[in-house]
Amino acid sequence: MSERNSRDTFRDKRGTAAEQGSDEDYYPEDAYSPWKKGNVESFMSNLSKSSGLLLVIIGAGVFILVALFVFLPMLHSPTDTKPVAEMEARVKKMEAKLTEMEQNYQKVAQLALQEDKLDQVSARVDRLGASTTQRLDQMTRDLETLHKQPAPVKTDSASKQPAAPSKPEPAVKHPAPAKTESAAKSPAAPKAEPASSPKPAETPEKKASTEKYHEVKPLETLYGLGKAYGLSVDELRRLNNMSPTDTIRTGQKLKVSK
């Protein structure tokens, strides 16, 4: 019985202790609920105070991300620099070719200018040659006209000069008379000369063979050719059907025989 009583008392003590512990551990929900008016206002004030710090943290994170995107391509391995080096080499080659092309173009332009100048000089030389030949021909014509003019007769000087005394003619010696014997002999009759046969007429082939032609060389004039072949400038023009204004050219064949 004593053991049963002790057990009952232990149970009673244990139950009372459990009830006391449950009363002490109990907290009302209303006192610590976050949705109460005072608790919500305190939470919002704490959040507004910490918003500046949050913005700073977000900005720093964005800056770090941008820096990573910008600087990561620059931190490639050395194997990635080969295409860049090849492109730089190609660009340098293209620049060298462009400079060479510019130099060649300048040389071609200079050559074209020199050719134009040479053409102009040759044209001037041709014009000067033509003008000089015309002047020489005009001078030769003037000289020929001067040579053809008769010299003026000096009547006054001829009348003033006394006539030269005529020399006495020497006496003509008459031959001695021939002997009678030679006179008696009759002179022999002269031999009759054979009649000369008429010359055959010249054929046109022979005439053509007798004609002479001269090929004009550089710096030759009609006056010089006329002197060489004993002809006048007018005769040379007439033989070659040339007008007074016509000029001769190098390589031209002129008839120089009458």
Least confident of 68-77, 126-135, 230-239: 68-77
Alpha carbon 116 to its chain's center: 8
User: Where is pLDDT greater, at 172 or 155?
Assistant: 155
What's the confidence (pLDDT) of residue 91?
Answer: 92
- CA separation, residue 132 to residues 17, 74, 135, 222 (Å): 154, 82, 5, 12
- Burial class for 216, CB neighbours closer than 10 Å (0-12, 13-18, 19+): middle
Alpha carbon 51 to its chain's center: 78
What average pLDDT score do residues 82-94 get?
Answer: 87
Both structure tokens of 88: 């730089």
Cα 103 from Cα 114, distance rounded (Å) = 17
Q: Domain spans of the chain? A: 35-75
What's the confidence (pLDDT) of residue 24?
Answer: 47
What average pLDDT score do residues 17-42 get?
Answer: 52
Both structure tokens of 48: 């507004």
Cα 189 from Cα 229, distance rounded (Å) = 50
Residue from 251, 218, 224 nearest 236 by CA: 224
Both structure tokens of 15: 């139950």
Query: What is the C-alpha radius of gyration for the chain, rounded to an integer number of angstroms?
Result: 72
